[in-house]
Structures are given as structure tokens and as C-alpha cells.
Structure 1
Amino acid sequence: MQIKLSETARMLAVFAGVTGLFAYTSLTTPSLSDHKATNVGAKDIKLPAGFSAEIIAADLGATRHIAVSKTGDIYVKLSKLKDGKGIYILRDANKDGVIDEQKMVGDYPGTGIAIKNGYLYSSSNKGVYRYKLNEKEEIIDANNPEKIVDGLTDHGRDNAKPVALDNNGNIYVTVGSYSDNCRQQGSGKGMSPCTILDSAGGVWKFKADKLNQTFSDGVRYATGVKNAVGIDWDNKTNALYVTVHGRGKFDDFYPQYYTAKHSAELPAETLYRLKEGDDAGWPYIYYDHFQNKKILAPEYGGDGKKVSGEKVIDPLVAFPAHLGPNAMMFYSGNMFPARYKNGAFIAFHSQSAELHKGYLVAFVPFVNGKPGKWEIFADNFAGTDLVKPTGPIQHRPCGLAQGPDGSLYVTDDLNGTIFRINYKKK
């Protein structure tokens, strides 16, 4: 598939919105033949029978979360500014399956992006904005977003602010912890209580339609959530779900209890269903997927065996350590086979020492609101054997979105590639 330039884009024609003018420029994405120099083309992605992948854009920058409008326009957040902007708007103007127009808006980097009730919501690392959309879900005035929330903590580490919206006018914002394990500085001892939890390490709830809210206007919806980069509201179960990055090393301060292998294979990455007031346990406990137990963290008196967290919620699903779940999305489309309906896709942008697998999209089937066993859905984004690598990692799946036709979009935060996965019954 060749990335083409439309005549409209080439001549820098003006696209008229409801108010304001939107000038789209030609997409400077390399052709697929050029992209093959990176060793991973769409045909190299390993998928179940009947599925296929295509690359619709590349070299966009640090693409993170993604939203697709009802007409197929694609909104992509960048974690680093490109040409001073942090949101891509990509369009297939002639509906031939190829992105041929682009526009960039928003002067802030970030991760979260979502479409709901006539607005595009987009987060910076400190707050949340929204853009009014017209009936085609196109931004009306890109230069004047409304500020919904400001003043969220940003210490540079795990500072992305992913968002999800429910059907009752609320927006949920992850505020990740900027400390891996809430240790006292220069010590293996944990802070007790962990004061970070007052402003981070959880999910906060704000009003989606109220302007100029500050951090103090929000409600801490759930705590003990170290860094939930994957977040989605499921309309089927009417509940909030998150995927959480686990903590790091154990053996640096506690070699009497943990080896380097333990640090490489613990703790589990986790998927939770959250309700208001829940506590997922960080930093006091972690989830061990080998023992299938909540274990007291060594900073708080644990030895790798002591069970703890009676009041702490259990994860719905536990994944191998350090896979880096960076997005989750409940599938509601009709393109894919029926078993995928109402299930959750999860994008992992790192790798597991336990599995020697990573850089993949997983699937968790849900039946009557209950999760089944997770499985690898799309693999080989890495483009190299992770057991014996022969070259650098090529792609890291990061964002997920469902197209109006039921196709699945996957962003890559390493090279800025966007994949679209389709299904056709043979």
C-alpha cells in the first residue's frame, strides 16, 4: 500500500469547518517500500486467521493514545511536541483506505484523548482540555480549547494523564506515581503512610462539562493504583477498568528475600475493575501471579511470602511483569468474530523476561462481565526474536481505538507508526 497525496492536500486547499478554517497539508509519511527498511511491515504482524494488518501512517513521532471519529478521522496524541504541536488529525479524504491529509493542533504534549458527547477531550501532563466538534466530529476551533482541569501533579516520571469518560458526565484521569515504590530517600524503607497517595498513584474523577476545575475539585475515585496508563469505561458493564504498571526492583535493597530473577519476573501487571473508594494496594502490597496472592511489599515488612491486603481489591487479570500495558479498549464493533464482542484489547509496549515476549496486543474475552484467560492477539511488532535478538526493537504498541467500521487501530510510540487491523471471513 502506497501512501499517496491527494490533489486537495497537494494544493493546500482549505477545509471549511462550522467556524474557523482548517488547512490540511500533505502527509510526509514514507511509502511502504521505504518503511520495509525497518524490517517490520504490516504483513509481518502475526494475527489469528482471517485478520490482516496494514500500515496507514508512519514516522509521526511519539504517538500515544488515539481516538477515531464516526467519519473515520483519526486524532492522535503525542508525548513529545512535533513542530510545536501535540495532536495529529489524520484524514483519508477520498476514502481509499490511505491517509492522505494531516493537520496538527494543540501546543502541549500528553497521552490521553477521547471523543464523547460532541467534544474531543485531550490531556496534557498537568490537565485536560476539550474541543467542540461539529456533527461530523471535526474540531470547530482548534486554537481555543476549553480547559477542563488544571494543576495535576507532574514530576516528570510516569506523568501521563490518560482519560476515560462515563455516561453520567464524569471524566476519569489517571495520576501516576512519580515514585516506583514510595521508599524514603536513600533507604529501602517505605514511607508510612505514603504521602504521594494524596496527589498521585490513583484515579481522580472530575466533571466532564465544568470548566477551569483544579485538582481540589476532583474526587479521588480509586487509590493504590501505581500508574494506570490503560483506562476505559465499558458501557456493557457500566464500569471503569484500568491496566496498571507494576513496581520495579526488589533485590537491590532486599537480596535476602529476592534475586535478580525475582525482580525480572515480579510483580504482575494487572487489570482492575474500579469502583469509587477502591484501593489497589500500591505501594504496600503487590500481586504475585505465580502464587496468585497479594504479597506484602518488602519496604513494609514483607519477605516475598507474607500475604497482605485484606481490604485491597483483587485484579481481574494478572499479566507477566514489566510488559507495560499502555492502553486498553473494550471492543463493541461488528467486524470481528462474535467472540471478540465486549472483550478487552490491551497494548503492551515492553517485554517480559518470563515469557521472552512483548511489544504485542493481547485480548481478554469477557462473558457476562467476567474475564476469561488472556491471549496474544497481535504479535511481532518488535521485529526481532526476543529470546535471541538480532536487531533493535522496531515498534512498541501504545494506543488503541476502534474505527467506525469495527477495525482496530494500534499506535506505536517508538517510531510513530499507525497500524489498522481488519477481519475478513474466508
Structure 2
Amino acid sequence: MIKGISRIFSIGLLTLMGANVNVWAQSEIDLSKIKLPEGFKISIYAEGITDARSLSSTPDGKTVFVGNRRRKNVYALTDTDGDMVADKTYKWASKTGKDWNMPNGVAYHNGDLYVAEVNRILRFPDIMNNLDDPKQEVIFEDYPTDAHHGWKFVAFGPDGKLYVPVGAPCNVCESEKEVYASITRMNPDGSNMEIYATGVRNSVGFAWDPKTQKMWFTDNGRDMMGDDIPACELNFAPEKGMNFGFPYWHQGDIPDPDFGDKFPRTNFTEPKYKFEPHSAPLGLRFYQGDMFPAKYKNNIIVAQHGSWNRSLDAGHIGYQLRFVQVEGDKVISSEIFASGWLDQKTNKGWGKPVDILEMPDGSILVSDDVAGVIYRISYEK
């Protein structure tokens, strides 16, 4: 456990060609509440990042992009002196006169920044030469407009395609449109959109195993079946065309009360790992660096955002990072990696992890959309 309170003080706000450049706001985060394995430490990479959600970065790690679900803007954080603390923030909003609609997903690719709204994919060409005044292009605008599970995580796969989930527009329902409850993919210019996987209620994170180049993704289980069912899921999707069961079967072995009698369980692919029910696993990354101990290499770290609809008697769960070891298509082990964002006495989360990003030095960043910060977790022998 790392003791101490992070304090960073504001020294001003500048406006450059429409981009707000913030050089930090005062805040206090008590890092002593976070429990980590021995040798690890947590610090603050950036503060004052309201509703910090999805993360992406340039290859050198000097600029980190942050999506935003509720505040209708996107951030770019720069570390100009290389001390692993961001010292400048660019905050962008739409210049079209119409607010961006939940610009949650961000992905940097070949010099361009991609941002996912509910129904559109935006591209900002040559973003590093346009941080003060980014130029926006719409490359795709035919996703559904439903806000329910409409926010999107996006990432480029090993095939060079942009992968984009489309959540179910409900807690649980059938839909005539196949694109709902799916993961799609498209070319970087927005062409040739196709459905990659179906039966996926609400995925807000996926990554590819660096050894096999195969996809793993998180999926949030349905609500209102009780405190302890169904489990949230970690799924393995090595090829196009797989169906993961929603809305008919949950966690692979629980039939839905309304739809479960329509198809047999054997029609669907079962999860490889079951997270705690309602723990809301979101972002995940395969750790590929050399800073952490060897057991972490080529394995998964998952952000569990935390429950919202468990009863007071059952108590909230999640609000943590989980380490999951995999081998091929199997989960070998799982353990809590970081915890402490949930106040057990009040049953409230003072912070909620959302996404994970590995930096070039082997440390990881973790976004928190409640505390409004980006943490950095590092390791020293």
C-alpha cells in the first residue's frame, strides 16, 4: 500500500485556437487507500480529467488521449518533460454547433485519432500537428442512435481494422436488427463495416493476445435477475461469426427468464471466465512490458468499474483491477491486482476504474471516471 496524498495546484488556464489548455487544477486523492501487490506503487499521472473513460496514446507515450461519456468532450494529455506526469491538457469539444454524443472511445492509429460517438466514428487527421485546432472528419455515421449502452470503446486489431461494439438498447431484449448486441469492424476509412461477433450485451473493452493475435473481450451481464446472477464475462473470440448468447443465455449456463427457451445452450459460445455478478468489467489490456514481474507478461489486467444495482444487504462489488492469466484459449488463474476504491463502511465507490493503457516504460495508466484522474501504476524491485 502506498501512503500519502497527491496534491497538485493550478497555475492557470490558456485558450489556444479553440482548445482549452489546462495546467492543473487543485485536488486531493488519498492514494493510501489503494492496495497493490508488494513492490508496486501508484501515483497520479493527471488530475482534473472529468469523467475520464477510454485511453489511447501515441507510440512514444508522450501524448495520451482520453474519451469522455457525459461531458461531450475529448482530452489530450501531454508529458513534455518526461517525468511521467502530464503537465498540459488539451480539451476539445465539437465545433459544429452540435455537441458530440458520448465521445467515449478513442484510438490513435497511423498518425490519426479516431473517436467513437453513439452513432458515428470521427477521425482527426495528423492529430499531433493539430492539437491546438483538430480537424474533424466523419468516416461512419450509420450506427444506431440509442443512448442505452450506446457509448463505445474502440480499438484497432492486428488486421488493421477498427473494432466497434454496439450494445443492446435495453437491459434484455430481442432486436430485429442484427447490429445490436454485437462487435463490428471496419476499414480505417470507415468502409466495409461488418459484424464480427453477436450475442454481446455490452462490451466496453477488448484486446488481442500478443502471442496468438486472437481477441478477448469483457461483457457486462444483464440486470434485475438478483444480486448474485448472472456473472459478467470474459470471452474469447478467435474468429468472425461467433455468438455469445445474449439475450437467450447468460454466463453460458443460465437461461433468460423470457427468452431462454427459444434456443438450446449449445447454440452459443460460453465465457472463458466469470467475473463477479454486476462488477462491470470494462477496459482490459494484455501486459507486454518488462517493468512488472515476469508472471504479468502477455497476460490480462482488467478494470472492474463496480456494481450499481446490487442491494444494500449484498453490498457493492468491483471497483478494482483484476489480473487474469491465460494460455491459448484458457484462463489459468485470476486474482485481484488493485483495490480500495470502494469504501466498505459507506458501501460507496470514491473512484471507479474504467480503462487501462500500457506506457512505453512498462508502467500502466488507469482512468477513473468518478475521481476524475488518471493513475500510474509502476513497479520497483
Settle same-fold status: TM greater than 0.5.
Answer: yes
Encode CA deviations 1:249-281: one digit per residue, 9 max, x unaligned: 23xxxxxxxxxxxx1111111111112000001
The alignment status of 1:407 with 2:367, answered yes or no, reads: no
Equivalents in 2 of 1:332, 1:180: separation in Å? Answer: 35
Q: Aligned to 1:283, what secondary structure does the other structure show? A: coil
TM alignment of 1:311-330, pairs within 5 A: 311-330=267-286
Gap runs ≥5 in structure 2: 1-5, 95-99
Gap runs ≥5 in structure 1: 15-20, 183-193, 251-262, 288-292
Equivalents in 2 of 1:168, 1:11: separation in Å? Answer: 41
Please point out which of 111, 117, 122 is paired with 1:129: 122
Q: Aligned to 2:54, what secondary structure does the other structure show? A: strand
Instruction: Report the equivalent of 2:33.
Output: 44
Of all paired residues, the percent bearing the same amino acid is: 29
CA gap 1:226/1:93 in 2 versus in 1, 3 angstroms: same
- Is the 1:159–1:178 contact (alpha carbons within 8 Å) kept by the matching residues of 2? yes
Please point out which of 74, 79, 83 is paired with 1:87: 74
The letter of the residue matching 1:147 is: V
Please point out which of 183, 188, 193 is paired with 1:203: 183
Greater helix content = 1
TM alignment of 1:232-381, pairs within 5 A: 232-250=207-225, 263-274=226-237, 275-287=239-251, 294-300=253-259, 308-351=264-307, 357-368=317-328, 370-381=330-341
- Is the 2:368–2:374 contact (alpha carbons within 8 Å) kept by the matching residues of 1? yes
- Single out whichever of 315-324 and 112-121 deviates more from structure 2: 112-121
- Single out whichever of 93-102 and 58-67 deviates more from structure 2: 93-102
- Is the 1:4–1:99 contact (alpha carbons within 8 Å) kept by the matching residues of 2? no
Instruction: Report the equivalent of 2:3.
Output: none
The alignment status of 1:390 with 2:346, answered yes or no, reads: yes
> How far 1:218 sits from its partner (Å)?
1.8
CA gap 1:80/1:166 in 2 versus in 1, 3 angstroms: same
> How far 1:301 sits from its partner (Å)?
5.2
Instruction: Report the equivalent of 1:258.
Output: none
Task: Please provide the CA RMSD for this pair.
Answer: 2.6
Equivalents in 2 of 1:355, 1:177: separation in Å? Answer: 26
Encode CA deviations 1:295-339: one digit per residue, 9 max, x unaligned: 32211355xxx9932121121111111001121111111111111
Number of equivalences: 364
The letter of the residue matching 2:195 is: R
Q: Select the structure of larger CA radius of gyration.
A: 1
The alignment status of 1:176 with 2:151, answered yes or no, reads: no
> How far 1:368 sits from its partner (Å)?
4.6
The TM-score normalised by the length of structure 1 is 0.78
The letter of the residue matching 1:309 is: R
The letter of the residue matching 1:104 is: K
The letter of the residue matching 2:179 is: S
The TM-score normalised by the length of structure 2 is 0.87
The letter of the residue matching 1:360 is: Q
Q: Aligned to 1:298, what secondary structure does the other structure show? A: coil
